[in-house]
Amino acid sequence: MRRYIRALTLCTVFAVLSGLYVYSKLVYSDVPVGPKRVFVPPRVPGVRRGAADRAGPQNTHWYNRYIMRQRGQMEAAGASVQSRPEPPMHLAVVACGERLEETLTMIKSAVLFSIKRLYLHIFAEDQLHASFMEALESWPGFIRSRFNYTVYSISFPSENAAEWKKLFKPCASQRLFLPLILKDVDSIVYVDSDILFLQPVDQLWDFLSQFNSSQLAAMAPEHEEPRIAWYNRFARHPFYGRTGINSGVMLMNMTRMRSTFFKNDMTSVGLRWEELLMPLLQKYKLNITWGDQDLLNIIFHYNPESFLEFPCQWNYRPDHCIYGSNCASAEEDGIYILHGNRGVYHDYKQPAFRAVYEAIKKYAFGTDPTTSLLEPLENELLGTTHTYCGKSHSLFTKRLTHSLANINRKPPHG
């Protein structure tokens, strides 16, 4: 009998100790729940990732600034409703591979010229997280106060993650899943990392107010001139309109995208966004060239009433000038958004595009925008007139001249 009592006592003690151990782990655990939005410590040369993680941040200054800012935002969230600022504009970008500097330059252009506050949703490979945070937290306070941000891990449906990630360019198809990931965000502007804003994001955001009751997305046409367009000459799948659409700049009402049933050529009934993507890829994957952009063309070919087309000046690419100027809206009012696809920011094939990129990248916050940005850029552009795009160099600075007034403005209230 005593043996049984001793055994029971030991089991009870072990059970209590085990419960206390599990409880302590739960209380002090820092493992996030839900989507992965984490601080990733910077890599230390020659040190494996595991060792670097245990060592913690090597430069704690910027990380401390980040933590203090997050605390400030949480405290501000508890303020009264009357003191809340106007809701921000949401801007999303995806960065994989060697896209860190290019993405930061895009963000810089968006923040410099915009008027209302921005909320940035940065989807990046895990090894880029710390670099993004360190760079953004190093910007001066009057710039940093204009935006908030979250850095997310790349995320695809688990059963087909590898196939989605390799579609066209690494991680480019992440944009298709934004409505399913950012479930608390109503509307968003998605841009490729090779975008430069020469006009405030505010005016692109205003297209949302132009949507009718059925429209839920807006993009620019792939081409203006059908004789040199790609889709109407080479596509082996349905596409939107006469010349297709380009998804480098995409405005989305994601609330509507989540609730709409989309017509398609696979079923007689409409499919929700999350039901549509994978069957569409399986049907057309041997016929598409430009990955997720082709899938968007197919979707809006069958659902044109859900789409708003905005002018090419909001997505101006080398195709609009490489064979001669063929973007009428840009010729009239200037370029609003520059899209440096084909890697033109990083080679010398289209020096006018590279000149704009270098000017914004090198601009020092707080300096005179006319003498430090506009005038050096105009001088560089004069040296590009041997190219067709360079011959239209005045289009590259026409809107930028007006946007410079916002660079050193005071931050918005709140």
Residue 169 token pair: 């360019």
The pLDDT of 6-11, averaged and rounded, is 68
Q: Could you tell me if 241 and 298 are in contact, meaning their C-beta atoms sit under 8 angstroms apart?
A: no
Query: Residue 347 contacts by C-beta under 8 Å, 6 or more apart in sequence?
Result: 354
Residue 74 token pair: 């949480």
In whole angstroms, what is the distance from residue 118 CA to residue 1 CA? 73
Q: Could you tell me if 88 and 120 are in contact, meaning their C-beta atoms sit under 8 angstroms apart?
A: no
Taking only the tens place, the pLDDT of each residue in 232-261 is 998 899 999 999 999 999 999 999 999 999
Domain ranges of the chain: 86-313, 314-408
Share of the chain above pLDDT 70, in %: 78
Cα 160 to the center of its chain, rounded Å: 22
CATH ID of 86-313, from 3.40.50.150, 3.40.50.720, 3.90.550.10, 3.40.50.1100: 3.90.550.10
Q: Could you tell me if 132 and 102 are in contact, meaning their C-beta atoms sit under 8 angstroms apart?
A: no
Q: Is the pLDDT of residue 32 over 80?
A: no
Taking only the tens place, the pLDDT of each residue in 120-167 is 999 999 999 999 999 999 999 999 999 999 999 999 887 777 788 777
Position 313 scores a pLDDT of 97
Residue 63 token pair: 């990380």
- H or E element, residue 331: helix 328-333
Type of residue found at 91: L
In whole angstroms, what is the distance from residue 386 CA to residue 108 CA? 29
pTM above 0.85, yes or no: no
